[in-house]
Chains A and B, each alone.
Chain A
Amino acid sequence: MKSTTVQDTHTESADWQEGEEHPLKYAAGAVDRFFFKPSEPTSLGLMRIATGILILYVHLVYCIGLTDYLGPYAWVNNDYTKYIRKEWFNQGPSSNWKDNIMESDGQVYSGLPMWSIYFHVEDPKWIWVIHSCILISMLLFTLGLWTRVTSVLTWLGSLMYIQRFQNSMLFGMDTMTNLGLFYLMIAPCGAALSLDRWLKVRRERQRLGSKYVPQPPEPMVSATFATRLIQINFCIIYGAAGTSKLLGASWWNGTAPNGFLLNYSFAPFDVPAYVTFIKWLVSHRFLWEMFGAVGVIGTLFLELGFPTLVWNRRMRWFMVCGAVLFHTMIALLMGLVTFSLMMLALLLAFVPPEAVRQTLEAWGEQARQILFGRAAAQAQARQMALSR
């Protein structure tokens, strides 16, 4: 066995320095590649469309009784929001061991730093004007027109509703749409599958004439950077959801699914087939327990495993497919359809952009063949460059 001496160590160290790369430099390079190696923006383009459609739907739904949400007699009136913004006091943690609220020296804060134009506008006429402007911005964002500006406007617009309803009418879907819009605002999400891209191609074609051959969108540093942010945040969401469940008895003894399956307000008890199925399931204890156990183990495996396993190329598709199945079940059994759709939109960050582009091209080609026939479709394909 080789004995390690000071001399050996020094020698090794010297060899090491003469090697190709110092570990710190290697780590810095890895971080650089992780965040800044250029990649295609196609997945982000698709994510923009999915998020845009969803956010447009969410805000169109506000049109059904808009003044119930924002008018002078809204569910949550502005006396309440003013109280939350200005008066509601919270105490920070103590700097010493006196944790009791009355003894603590923790700083007392009054109000929360929230903002929304709807805190100040109560006239239904102006509410409709602002709401319409925000809807237009969301539509343009979804279509990918002037995306650099409309992505910011869409995030700010959406945030105005979220801030207005904070501590009152929000649920997980709002958190996820906000996250999606926040990162898409940073991302070059209008560089692919957008009207911006179509206009750019059109301009180039006008400039170069028949010499112009459309190319796929250029790989971009900002595409990788934004995609990484979404991926990391997605992993944090799953990790937090999984670890927090480990504190619950029902996740240990397998009864947690009862909380969804038998919850009248969430589960589809208005669907007769569901009621029949659940009644059949409870009449077979073994099946019920198996169903619950598979649900619990699957949830915990996915939420705890996803943050690590998804980074392994071989496991990535398995984890992504697992997440798709997981959110489909949430949508069907808990009625959280918009939340699940938004999670699926965020999940697109884990799909390689090349795969998205090739799939869309293949689908586009098939659609063109069906619509125009093979010869015309080929000519059309040369003209179309939206997805490339």
Chain B
Amino acid sequence: MARDPAPSDSSLASALRTFRRPWPIMGAGLAFTVAGLALMQTSVVPLRVIFLGVGTLLAGIAVARRLQTASWEWEDRLESAGLLGVAAFVAMFGYMAMDESWDSGTLFYFVLIVVSLVGAFLVLLPRRGRRIAAVVLVLLHFGGILTAVTSVPPRNNPAPWLSMQLWTNFYRNYLFFAYLTNAYHFYSPDPGPATLLWFHVEYADGRARWVKIPNRHDSPVGLHHQRMLAAAESTMNPGFPLMNEQQVKAFEEKFHTKYELLPGIKHDLGEEINKRRRIAPNLVNFVDPNDGRPAPLYPIFDATGQFPQYAEPSDPSRRLISSFARHIAHTEPDPEDPRNPVKAVRVYRVTHNLITPRELYEGKNPLDPWTFLPVYMGKYDPEGHLLDGGKYDRDGNQLEAPDPFLFWGIPYGIRVPKRYPEAGTYVPTQDGPMLNWNWTPEQENAEPWKIIDFVEIHATQSDKFRKETKAK
């Protein structure tokens, strides 16, 4: 049944109609924003933010209503442009009401001013001009998308020079603001292995446990598992190649920054890092807990080039790892005694190599220990400060050496002859013995063999030897 038309002459309906018109809404928006600006002198921050938010929202509603209801006649376009102009003022007041530290708000309101002014200009244009302007904007927009697509360097080659110029000098701000930076190179050039993070959480009473991400069984939904995969993958960006003294000096001068591992922790020179790793087995006397035999962690010899040697992450990745360690320290209480606080967290970044179809056919498992390739990422206190990155005095003299295995690959489940480390169980080289990553029992007439988990050994025995090394 059809209804009667609603009575239109009541005062309430009339008031509502007035309020629904764009100009009163814009006026209210302006008033709220100005009130927010006035509150800048006070300490009532939440109220200021609410006033600014409501003001901006009302201005947006006014513009939306106007553009939905106005015609494209010249007078109407002029009025619409005027309304957009006032919206730009609202955005400007919002911009002025931002504190110095609220850079997100400043950026947001700046973009809003630009959008309002460009919108006003577009509205003023006649139909043909408006369409031409729209096509030009479309070309600019997709130019940006294509710049993002082409500015990814192909493997072992630089990115196109023109794309990089456009990216850095023209599109950078637009693409980052709207997060249109993806290059869409999904699983290209080749699908790679997954990255995992293993955290060795050490509690105050000496107990410890492992927390590993991503772990499908610990994720409440698949989306969480994907986020954890992405988080681990984000730590994979490689750092600068190791530098010598001269290069460090040039680097610091050019970029006006310190060559540091993390804020306040000096980054050693390349030769020191390599030397420290080479002599580490002489200083750190690891023991295989399964048979009590010495288990020196010699540098790894890998003819296939699969095993990660020194793999220092980029500066952002190092900071990200420190942030992850801090999170773990505060969210992974001792399951047996929640009052037992976390003392430190060791982090291992692990590449989980893919099993081949042949290996699967031969009965091997995708979770076989040698498919995991860990790299040690440091030991952190509950606030995410790196504990074993070395200590230095004000003049840069070393007080305590960093962990010699920091950022070096550590084998998880490497196969070695049972009589390791006797002669003939390692690869002798000019620089000293090396552990053969590719050794398999079949190659050595089925010699008795064992698996050593150097990650567990490193995580549980390093502190003891660090104390001894420090004493030496």
Do the two chains belong together in a single complex? yes
Q: Which residues of A contact B (CB under 8 A)?
A: 31-32, 35-36, 57-58, 61, 64, 68, 73-77, 79-80, 83-90, 92-93, 99, 102, 106-109, 112-117, 119-120, 126, 146, 148-149, 152-153, 159, 162-163, 166-175, 178-179, 182, 205-207, 209-212, 225, 229, 232-233, 236-237, 240-241, 244-245, 247-251, 256, 258-260, 262-266, 269-270, 278-279, 282-283, 285, 288, 335-338
Q: Decide: B138 and A229 in contact? CB cutoff 8 A.
A: yes
Q: Decide: A169 and B231 in contact? CB cutoff 8 A.
A: yes
The contact sample of 29 A-B pairs, CB cut-off 8 A, is A61-B224, A75-B323, A77-B323, A77-B326, A85-B103, A117-B105, A119-B104, A120-B101, A126-B46, A159-B178, A166-B179, A167-B316, A168-B320, A169-B230, A178-B179, A182-B180, A205-B2, A206-B4, A206-B5, A241-B184, A247-B188, A247-B189, A248-B188, A250-B191, A262-B354, A262-B360, A266-B194, A266-B229, A270-B216
Task: Please provide the 3 A-B residue pairs with the shortest distance between their CB atoms, ordered closest to farther.
Answer: A259-B191, A248-B189, A92-B168
* CA A244 to CA B185, docked complex, whole Å: 6
Inter-chain contacts of A84 with B (CB < 8 A): 316
Q: Decide: B176 and A241 in contact? CB cutoff 8 A.
A: no
Measured CB to CB, the closest approach of chain A to B269, in angstroms, equals 16
Which of A148, A162, A205 has the most chain B CB atoms closer than 10 A to its own CB? Answer: A148
Q: Decide: B366 and A171 in contact? CB cutoff 8 A.
A: no
Closest residue of chain B to A107, judged by CB?
B168
A-binding segment of B36-44, B250-258, B373-381, B410-418? B250-258
Inter-chain contacts of B145 with A (CB < 8 A): 233, 236
Inter-chain contacts of A211 with B (CB < 8 A): 2
A-binding segment of B157-165, B390-398, B423-431, B443-451? B157-165
Closest residue of chain B to A173, judged by CB?
B226
Interface status of B47 (Cβ within 8 A of chain A): no
- Given A80-B319, A256-B191, check contact A89 B255 (CB 8 Å): yes
* CA A99 to CA B165, docked complex, whole Å: 13
* CA A173 to CA B135, docked complex, whole Å: 28
Interface status of B15 (Cβ within 8 A of chain A): no
* CA A109 to CA B187, docked complex, whole Å: 29
Measured CB to CB, the closest approach of chain A to B139, in angstroms, equals 11
- Given A107-B169, A206-B5, A249-B190, check contact A68 B327 (CB 8 Å): yes
* CA A153 to CA B54, docked complex, whole Å: 12
Measured CB to CB, the closest approach of chain B to A359, in angstroms, equals 28
Proximity bits, B93-134, A CB within 8 Å = 1, else 0: 000000001111101100000000000000000000001001
- Having A61-B224, A76-B320, A88-B316, one finds 9 other A-B pairs with CB under 8 Å, namely A107-B169, A115-B108, A119-B104, A170-B230, A182-B178, A206-B4, A206-B6, A249-B190, A282-B358
Interface status of B222 (Cβ within 8 A of chain A): yes
* CA A233 to CA B154, docked complex, whole Å: 22
* CA A232 to CA B367, docked complex, whole Å: 42
* CB-contacts of B176-222 with A (<8 A): 176-180, 182-194, 196, 214, 216-217, 220-222
- Given A80-B320, A209-B3, A338-B223, check contact A259 B187 (CB 8 Å): yes
* CA A338 to CA B226, docked complex, whole Å: 10
What is the size category of the interface that chain B forms with chain A? Answer: 35 or more
Measured CB to CB, the closest approach of chain A to B305, in angstroms, equals 15
The 8 Å CB contact of A120, one of B57, B104, B330, B358, is: B104
* CA A148 to CA B63, docked complex, whole Å: 10
* CA A211 to CA B393, docked complex, whole Å: 89
Inter-chain contacts of B356 with A (CB < 8 A): 258, 262
Which of A76, A107, A265, A269 has the most chain B CB atoms closer than 10 A to its own CB? Answer: A265
Inter-chain contacts of B155 with A (CB < 8 A): 247
Inter-chain contacts of B326 with A (CB < 8 A): 73, 77
- Given A112-B176, A247-B189, check contact A93 B168 (CB 8 Å): yes
The 8 Å CB contact of B104, one of A58, A107, A117, A172, is: A117
Measured CB to CB, the closest approach of chain B to A282, in angstroms, equals 4
- Given A36-B131, A76-B323, A245-B187, check contact A259 B354 (CB 8 Å): yes
* CA A170 to CA B231, docked complex, whole Å: 8
The 8 Å CB contact of B185, one of A107, A148, A240, A262, is: A240
Q: Decide: B164 and A335 in contact? CB cutoff 8 A.
A: no
The 8 Å CB contact of B3, one of A206, A237, A249, is: A206
Measured CB to CB, the closest approach of chain A to B444, in angstroms, equals 28
Closest residue of chain B to A175, judged by CB?
B182
Closest residue of chain B to A112, judged by CB?
B176
* CA A174 to CA B234, docked complex, whole Å: 15
* CA A278 to CA B223, docked complex, whole Å: 24
* CA A107 to CA B255, docked complex, whole Å: 11
Q: Decide: A209 and B173 in contact? CB cutoff 8 A.
A: no
* CB-contacts of B295-350 with A (<8 A): 315-316, 319-320, 322-324, 326-327, 330-331
Measured CB to CB, the closest approach of chain A to B233, in angstroms, equals 8
Q: Decide: A236 and B179 in contact? CB cutoff 8 A.
A: no
* CA A30 to CA B146, docked complex, whole Å: 23
Q: Decide: A282 and B360 in contact? CB cutoff 8 A.
A: yes
- Given A68-B331, A258-B357, check contact A241 B188 (CB 8 Å): yes
* CA A139 to CA B17, docked complex, whole Å: 26
Closest residue of chain A to B149, judged by CB?
A240
Closest residue of chain A to B365, judged by CB?
A264
Measured CB to CB, the closest approach of chain A to B255, in angstroms, equals 6
The 8 Å CB contact of B226, one of A75, A182, A260, A335, is: A335
Inter-chain contacts of A263 with B (CB < 8 A): 191, 193-194, 354
Measured CB to CB, the closest approach of chain A to B98, in angstroms, equals 10
Q: Decide: A115 and B107 in contact? CB cutoff 8 A.
A: yes
* CA A258 to CA B360, docked complex, whole Å: 11
Q: Decide: B68 and A148 in contact? CB cutoff 8 A.
A: yes
Q: Decide: B57 and A149 in contact? CB cutoff 8 A.
A: yes
Measured CB to CB, the closest approach of chain A to B292, in angstroms, equals 33
* CA A112 to CA B134, docked complex, whole Å: 28
Interface status of B389 (Cβ within 8 A of chain A): no
Measured CB to CB, the closest approach of chain B to A323, in angstroms, equals 14
Measured CB to CB, the closest approach of chain B to A303, in angstroms, equals 9
Which of B6, B67, B149, B173 has the most chain A CB atoms closer than 10 A to its own CB? Answer: B149
Inter-chain contacts of B220 with A (CB < 8 A): 64
Q: Decide: B231 and A168 in contact? CB cutoff 8 A.
A: yes
- Given A73-B330, A83-B319, A209-B2, check contact A250 B190 (CB 8 Å): yes
- Given A73-B331, A236-B142, A265-B214, check contact A120 B168 (CB 8 Å): no
* CA A121 to CA B298, docked complex, whole Å: 48
Which of A126, A146, A251 has the most chain B CB atoms closer than 10 A to its own CB? Answer: A251
Interface status of B280 (Cβ within 8 A of chain A): no
